[in-house]
């Protein structure tokens, strides 16, 4: 399966349940694209923002289709009820984007990609994602934040489009910055589920911090067996080894190397 270097892919194997519980290998494929969107830095619609925006919209379009057509029926055949949002969270993690094409010419931005979830490994990945409640809850919460923020930006957007006034432009800039931060969090969640090396916690209530320092704020409390995704190799700070990583909620932080082991 091909993955472009600049694409932050999300890979997990997905299982097609059958009525007789016989494992059946299958591959779910879908694709989506976003037509060129105008760059307008006056209201925060910069090239960087629109690349995040169009990328998320494409992934979201494929996620909704995958959740409805594949993920929800899989759990239903197993006699397990999941909500629409839980199905969407599972689909978002399991569906990998590849053949990514993104383009910007200084005036517009466009994006297209294919999505694939390769099954054949039982229900391991779908149920593993579903059982990771930190991730599921974080996805739903972040999704609700994005929906609320987008709704609040509509009046300002309409006003700006109609009148081009500076107050509406400034309001949109502020709103779009918050929306951009949410897009970044979703990208981190994708990276969390991407294939590759993981760090497995070896102790309970391990501090996941904002900086590689025991004086820094604690973002999360990690439990034994929990996995986080490293962003770079271990390094030394304050006389001890640290890892920079992403947790299940899509937050970037640091953990002491004393409490993790490397797993492939």
Residue 190 dihedral angles phi and psi, to the nearest 5°? -60, -45
Paired sense of beta strands 218-222 and 260-263, if any? unpaired
pLDDT digits (tens, 9 = 90+) for 154-170: 777 777 777 677 878 88
Give the predicted TM-score (pTM) of the model.
0.86
Over residues 53-95, the pLDDT tens digits come to: 999 999 999 999 999 999 999 899 889 999 999 999 999 999 9
Contacts of 114 (CB under 8 A, 6+ apart): 29, 30, 31, 97, 98, 99
Q: How many beta carbons lie within 10 A of that of residue 163, not counting itself?
A: 11
* pLDDT value at residue 26: 61
**How far apart (Å, rounded) are the C-alpha atoms in residues 169 and 133?**
38
Query: Residue 246 corresponds to which tokens in the numbers above?
Result: 């992403």
pLDDT in tens, 8-17: 333 232 222 2
Q: Which domains does the chain have, with CATH numbers?
A: 27-192 (no CATH), 198-263 (2.30.30.40)
* 7 pLDDT more than 50: no
């Amino acid at each position: 399966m091909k993955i472009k270097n600049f694409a932050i892919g999300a890979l997990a194997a997905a299982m097609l349940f059958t009525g007789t519980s016989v494992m059946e290998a299958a591959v779910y494929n879908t694709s989506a694209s976003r037509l060129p969107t105008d760059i307008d830095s006056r209201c925060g619609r910069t090239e960087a923002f629109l690349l995040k925006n169009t990328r998320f919209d494409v992934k979201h379009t494929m996620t909704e289709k995958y959740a409805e057509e594949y993920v929800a029926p899989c759990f239903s055949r197993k006699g397990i009820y999941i909500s629409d949002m839980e199905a969407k969270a599972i689909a978002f993690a399991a569906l990998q984007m590849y053949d990514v094409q993104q383009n910007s010419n200084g005036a517009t931005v466009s994006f297209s990609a294919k999505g694939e979830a390769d099954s054949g490994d039982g229900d391991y990945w779908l149920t593993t994602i579903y059982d990771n409640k930190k991730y599921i809850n974080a996805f739903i919460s972040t999704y609700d934040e994005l929906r609320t923020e987008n709704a609040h930006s509509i009046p300002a957007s309409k006003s700006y489009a109609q009148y081009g006034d500076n107050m509406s432009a400034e309001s949109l800039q502020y709103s779009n910055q918050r929306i951009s931060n949410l897009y970044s969090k979703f990208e981190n969640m994708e990276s969390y589920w991407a294939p590759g090396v993981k760090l497995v916690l070896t102790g309970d209530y391990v501090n996941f911090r904002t900086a590689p320092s025991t004086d820094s704020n604690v973002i999360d409390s990690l439990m034994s067996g929990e996995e986080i995704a490293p962003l770079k190799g271990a390094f030394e700070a304050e006389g001890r080894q640290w890892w920079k990583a992403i947790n299940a909620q899509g937050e970037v932080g640091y953990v002491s190397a004393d409490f993790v082991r490397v797993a492939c």
